[in-house]
Amino acid sequence: MKPIVKESDYSTIKNIINNLTPAQKTKEVGQLMNELELAKKVPDKKIPKDVIQLNSYFEVEVGTPAQIIKMTMVIPKNADLAQHKISLFSPLSVALIGFREGASVDWVLPGGLRKLKILKVTNQVQQELVAK
């Protein structure tokens, strides 16, 4: 399964990574760069609505017994776990970016190999359309 990334997210993420100091380029940043290079890049208007991208709210089932995690993926400076906002450089974000609702991903997280099942994805565009 190949991740899907919209062109504007790809540019934004690459710019953030390019401006990091060598000390800030963690293992997760390297993994994210690899995932981005493998990803199918699509025009913003053609990204499916159920794909996890920057500013996506998502619910994911992790491990056995299942734990449900509800987060919004944001750029690092906006990360705030108290508000359920997780950095795109976190291991969980690196594992999920570009994958669709309903997908399962096996990924090594800090606690070891975990199966991640994406239960729900909501993107800002969808929320704005509902609000109008």
What single DSSP character describes residue 100?
B
pLDDT, tens digit, for every residue of 36-63?
999 999 999 999 999 999 999 999 999 8
Q: What is the pLDDT of residue 94?
A: 93
Percent of the chain with pLDDT over 70: 94
Q: What span, in angstroms and rounded, lies between the C-alpha atoms of 59 and 46?
A: 23
Residue with tokens 């999920």: 96
In sequence order, the 6+-apart residues with CB closer than 8 A to the CB of 87 are 73, 74, 75, 76, 79, 93
Q: How far apart are the first and last CA of the chain?
A: 35
**Bond into 110 cis (ω within 30):** no
Q: What is the pLDDT of residue 65?
A: 83
What the chain holds in terms of domains, given with CATH numbers, is 4-131 (3.10.50.30)
pLDDT, tens digit, for every residue of 56-107?
999 999 987 889 999 999 999 999 999 999 999 999 999 999 999 999 999 8
